[in-house]
């Protein structure tokens, strides 16, 4: 790099003074994030340039392929995150789809259309990068349409199956919707291409000094290639993902794939960030992990293993009761979680629930849930820490009927699946001497529909005058520390349809991903990592 | 869950499974269709055993009207769920990453539409020897319930095996054979 280049770069950056000056005069708060965005963009560009420089410098086929593989993996991660899918289930399928789809189309273009040396990094890298970027963007549309359409119209799939249509034929309406979600916007956009805007790519080709006619042809090939690569990648992904989406009875296992996200009142703003290859996502994970570990340390002195880590992203008021601890959320008017240590002796007792009535919890601020909110709501007053776990003590029993331990729960779920699980947990407490249990509600993803300070989001289902949120699902995680520690998680949809326990089982990691809660932080890290990674009913 | 149950649905007859809510009518039907595993015992069609693996072959002999017919709007009107897109001048190359699409459940069908869909389904299944209907009249008006009943009866009269699950007295009374859970 010579001094001339440095001076000219600085002169170029001086242009930033215009927007920065305008912001300084009119909107100073945004100035800081604008600056950060620019720094981030410059850093990202430098990294990419360095990467491309290395690729071109060594110019090895295996190195270029490795780079494409990494790009595909990273893009797949973005897709899975954007579509709010459980990454472990679908990441491989998306990665394979992107890698294979882009590679086939890219090699076709390089070898048969442009007739250059296919693994020459100077051609390979830009062509593959463009194809990957486009295929990734389209994958987000296609895959999210497919999965959410299947969830919304599960009945249609089953109807077709019941009428003798084979699996892939029954998926046709959904594949069609997914394909059109990719193709329709492309068609719409292509009609205006070049009229009012000149694509960056075309500018780049012109700047490179290529004659307009050649630039036109190259551009044409790339547009066609991008469309082909996005459709091919999506097809491969949906084919590979099929096994993770359906069980052997052809029953959808979407609960496993679809992540019911946190929303629960996180009101975190997505940061405005510069995009490079369209890639941007501010990672917020670090903040919460540090929180978790510090709380973990505090908890160790008390050794209440059932206690989750402190929540930073939503309202939380910790209430310690005789039989349980609850983290109350003033926005949802339901608990974030309820945790208790269930011992063998606590599963027996003479205190009955007959005399008890559900009661408003005076220790939290109004508006809070009342009996009237549930009256005529068609939802049960669903205990989180069950009355059946509090028979050992009168006070514990009475406190379990406070509304800070209660969520609106579907009657069928409360009576069957959830009750079965509560009974099973008591069996485990008797078998192992004691277990630690945490459970609570899950509120499904609403995308952008929850904003900070928005107390009554219009689309959230609520009951009663106090607007108690109706959960979309419930989670429960159980820890057994007897012998070699183990843990298991469950997620049940808040509906009356039968749900098999086998289908409800999740690893604690999966429940953590859905809830944004860090469970069992008091365990040592290695144990926590091991037992939270997987779960099997058979081991219990 | 149903236990100790044994019955045979015959050609040309209307067989009705009945029982209180939650007694397992739908579960039984779904088991008969191979959507759920048989705990103990067996299901056979024309003397051949129906298993999870062979179920799809048997289902090609069946016409099925599920309980949640009202949820099939997108089947009756395949284009109702498609979105239209405005051209975005920068869309092809210079766009930011799109956000994920979230498809919403469709509007439930009206009773007339449900009946229309049932007719259409049975029409398309002319050559299939078995008709299974889960609560076929649950969401229909009294007049349409009667028409549905006649439709199912005509299927049985055409020599088909018609199996329905229902709590409606009207339907139960009309059946040739009643199985109570």
**Interface pTM (ipTM) of the complex?**
0.90
**Whether B131 contacts chain A with CB within 8 A:** no
Are residues A382 and A407 in contact, defined by beta-carbon separation less than 8 angstroms?
yes
pLDDT at site B1? 52
pLDDT > 90? residue A15: yes
Q: Tokens 């001094």: give the residue.
A: A3
**In the predicted model, what is the mean pLDDT of residues A194-198?**
58
More confident residue, A284 or A430: A430
The pLDDT score that the predictor gives to residue A238 is 93
Portion of chain A with pLDDT greater than 90, in percent: 35
pLDDT tens profile A339-385? 999 988 888 888 888 778 888 988 898 889 988 888 888 899 999 99
Total beta-carbon pairs less than 8 A apart between chain A and chain B: 153
Whether residue B36 and residue A249 make contact (CB cut-off 8 A), yes or no, is yes
pLDDT at A38 over 70: yes
With a cut of 80, say whether residue A31 has pLDDT above it: yes
- More confidently predicted of A280 and A338: A338
Contact A158 B56 (CB under 8 A): no
- At A274 the pLDDT is 26
Nearest to A280 among B52, B72, B97 (CB): B97
Kindly list the domain boundaries of chain A, sorted by start residue.
Answer: 1-50, 59-257, 285-452+461-539
Asked whether the beta carbons of residue B89 and residue A185 sit closer than 8 angstroms, the reply is no
A306 within 8 A of A324, measured Cβ to Cβ? no
β-bridge mates for residue A317, sequence order: A328
Report pLDDT for B23.
Answer: 83
Chain B residues touching A84 at Cβ < 8 A: 100
**Catalytic site residues of A?**
383
Among A320-329, B75-84, B143-152, the range scoring the smallest mean pLDDT is B75-84
Q: What is the pLDDT of residues B6-36, one digit of tens each?
A: 888 888 889 999 988 878 888 888 888 888 8
pLDDT of residue A447: 33
Write out residues 73-92 of B within 8 Å (CB-CB) of A. Answer: 74-75, 78, 81-92
Q: Give the bridge partners for A409, in sequence order.
A: A380
Q: What is the rounded distance in angstroms from the CA atom of residue B46 to the CA atom of residue B41?
A: 16
Upstream peptide bond of A418 is cis (omega within 30 degrees of 0): no
Element (H, E) at B64: strand B62-65
pLDDT tier at A285 (50, 70, 90 boundaries)? Answer: very low
Binding-face residues of B in 43-72 toward A, CB within 8 A: 52, 56, 59-64, 66, 68, 71-72
Give dist(CA A442, CA A384) in Å, integer.
12
Q: Chain B residues with CB inside 8 Å of A498's CB?
A: 27
Provide the pLDDT for residue B115. Answer: 93
Q: Which of A144, A163, A249 lies at the smallest CB-CB distance from B35? A: A249
Residue A59 host element (H or E) = none
pLDDT at position B91: 54
Task: State the Cα–Cα distance between residues A338 and A326, nearest whole angstrom.
Answer: 4
Write down the pLDDT at residue A277.
26
Average pLDDT over residues A95-124: 94
Task: List CB contacts (< 8 A) between B109 and chain A.
Answer: none
- Measured between CA atoms, the residue of chain B closest to residue A75 is B97
**Res A93 pLDDT > 90:** yes
Q: Do B98 and A250 touch (CB under 8 A)?
A: no
Q: Give me the architecture of the A285-452+461-539 domain, per CATH.
A: 3-Layer(aba) Sandwich (3.40)
Which of 145-174 (B) contact A at CB < 8 A?
none
Q: Are B89 and A195 an interchain contact pair (Cβ–Cβ within 8 Å)?
A: yes
Q: Does B132 touch chain A (CB under 8 A)?
A: yes
Q: Which of B52, B72, B83 is opposite residue A249, by nearest beta carbon?
A: B52
Contact A394, A415 (CB under 8 A): no
Contacts of A247 (CB under 8 A, 6+ apart): A253, A503
- Ordered by start, the domain boundaries in chain B are 14-23+60-77+106-180
Q: Does the beta-carbon distance from B35 to A196 stay under 8 Å?
A: no
pLDDT of residue B49: 83
Q: Is the pTM of this model over 0.80?
A: no
Which of A103-117, A152-166, A199-213, A218-232 shows the lowest per-residue confidence on average (mean pLDDT)?
A199-213
pLDDT at residue A279 greater than cutoff 90: no
d(Cα A449, Cα A469) in Å, to the nearest integer? 15
pLDDT for residue B2: 58
Q: Which chain B positions have a beta carbon within 8 Å of A251's beta carbon?
A: 35
- Is the pLDDT assigned to residue A198 strictly greater than 80? no
Nearest to A164 among B61, B96, B98 (CB): B61
**What's the pLDDT score for residue B96?**
61
Of A490 and B46, more confident: A490
DSSP state letters, A448-511: GG--TT-SS-TTS-EETTTTEEPPSEEEEEEEE-SSS-EEEEEEEESSSS---HHHHEE-HHHH
A46–chain B nearest CA distance, Å? 20
Mutant choice from A162, A263, A459 vs B, greatest count of B C-beta within 10 A: A162
Lowest-confidence segment of A202-206, A397-401, B32-36, B139-143 by average pLDDT? A202-206
Tell me what the pLDDT averaged over chain B comes to.
84
What's the pLDDT score for residue A282?
30
- pLDDT tens profile B102-123: 787 788 899 999 999 999 999 9
Q: Does the pLDDT value for residue A528 go beyond 80?
A: yes
**CATH dotted code for B14-23+60-77+106-180:** 3.40.50.300
CA distance B132 to chain A (A): 9
Residue of A nearest to B52 (CA): A249
Question: Is A117 a residue whose pLDDT tops 80?
Answer: yes
pLDDT in tens, A49-78: 999 999 999 999 999 999 999 999 999 999
Residue of chain A whose alpha carbon sits nearest to that of B63: A163
Considering only CA atoms, give the Rg of chain B: 20
């Amino acid at each position: 790099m010579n001094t001339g280049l440095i001076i000219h770069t600085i002169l170029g950056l001086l242009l930033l003074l215009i927007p920065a000056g305008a912001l300084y005069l009119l909107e100073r708060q945004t100035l800081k994030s604008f600056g950060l965005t620019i720094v981030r963009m410059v850093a990202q560009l430098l990294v990419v340039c360095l990467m491309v420089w290395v690729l071109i410098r060594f110019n090895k086929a295996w190195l270029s392929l490795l780079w494409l593989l990494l790009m595909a993996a990273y893009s797949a991660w973005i897709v899975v995150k954007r579509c709010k899918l459980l990454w472990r289930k679908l990441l491989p399928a998306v990665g394979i789809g992107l890698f294979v789809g882009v590679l086939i189309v890219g090699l076709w273009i390089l070898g048969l259309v442009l007739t250059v040396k296919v693994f020459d990094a100077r051609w390979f890298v830009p062509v593959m990068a463009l194809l990957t970027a486009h295929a990734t963007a389209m994958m987000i549309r296609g895959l999210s349409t497919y999965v959410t359409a299947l969830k919304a119209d599960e009945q249609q799939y089953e109807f077709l199956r019941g009428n003798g249509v084979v699996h892939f034929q029954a998926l046709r309406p959904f594949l069609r919707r997914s394909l059109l979600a990719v193709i329709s916007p492309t068609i719409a956009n292509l009609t205006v291409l070049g009229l009012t805007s000149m694509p960056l790519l075309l500018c780049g080709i012109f700047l490179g000094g290529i004659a307009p006619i050649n630039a036109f042809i190259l551009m044409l090939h790339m547009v066609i290639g991008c469309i082909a690569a996005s459709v091919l990648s999506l097809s491969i992904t949906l084919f590979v993902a099929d096994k993770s989406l359906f069980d052997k009875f052809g029953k959808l296992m979407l609960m496993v794939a679809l992540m019911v996200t946190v929303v629960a009142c996180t009101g975190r703003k997505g940061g405005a960030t510069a995009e490079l290859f369209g890639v941007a996502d501010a990672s917020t994970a670090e903040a919460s992990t540090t929180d978790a570990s510090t709380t973990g340390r505090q908890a160790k002195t008390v050794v209440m293993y059932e206690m989750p880590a402190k929540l930073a992203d939503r309202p939380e008021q910790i209430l310690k009761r005789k039989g349980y601890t609850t983290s109350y959320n003033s926005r949802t008017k339901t608990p974030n979680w309820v945790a208790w240590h269930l011992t063998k002796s606590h599963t027996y007792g003479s205190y009955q629930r007959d005399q008890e009535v559900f009661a408003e919890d005076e220790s939290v601020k109004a508006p809070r849930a009342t009996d009237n909110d549930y009256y005529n709501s068609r939802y049960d007053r669903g205990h989180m820490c069950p009355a059946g776990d509090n028979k050992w003590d009168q006070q514990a029993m009475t406190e379990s009927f406070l509304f800070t331990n209660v969520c609106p729960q579907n009657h069928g779920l409360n009576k069957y699946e959830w009750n079965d699980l509560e009974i099973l947990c008591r069996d485990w407490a008797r078998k192992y001497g004691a277990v630690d249990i945490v459970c609570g509600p899950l509120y499904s993803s609403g995308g952008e529909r929850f904003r900070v300070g928005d107390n009554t989001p219009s689309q959230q289902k609520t009951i009663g005058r106090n607007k108690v949120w109706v959960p979309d699902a419930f989670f429960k995680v159980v820890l057994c520390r007897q012998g070699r520690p183990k843990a298991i998680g469950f997620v049940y949809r808040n509906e009356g349809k039968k749900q098999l326990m086998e289908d409800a089982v999740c690893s604690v990691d999966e429940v953590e991903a859905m809830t944004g809660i860090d469970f069992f932080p008091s365990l040592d890290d290695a144990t926590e990592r091991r037992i939270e990674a997987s779960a099997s009913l058979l081991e219990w | 869950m149903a236990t100790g149950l044994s019955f045979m649905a015959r050609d040309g007859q209307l067989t009705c499974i009945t029982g209180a809510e939650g007694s397992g009518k739908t579960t039984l039907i779904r088991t008969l269709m191979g959507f759920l595993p048989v705990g103990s015992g067996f299901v056979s069609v024309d003397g051949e055993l129906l298993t999870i693996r062979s179920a799809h072959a048997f289902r090609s002999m069946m016409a099925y009207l599920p309980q949640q017919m009202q949820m099939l709007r997108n089947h009756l009107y395949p284009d109702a769920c498609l979105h239209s897109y405005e051209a975005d001048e920068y869309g092809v190359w210079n766009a930011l990453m799109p956000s994920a699409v979230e498809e919403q459940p469709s509007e439930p069908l009206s009773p007339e539409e449900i009946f229309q869909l049932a007719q259409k389904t049975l029409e398309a299944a002319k050559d299939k020897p078995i008709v299974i209907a889960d609560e076929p009249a649950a969401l229909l008006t009294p007049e349409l319930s009667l028409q549905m009943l006649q439709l199912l009866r005509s299927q049985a009269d055409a020599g088909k095996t018609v199996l329905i699950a229902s709590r409606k007295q009207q339907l139960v009374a009309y059946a040739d054979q009643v199985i109570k859970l």
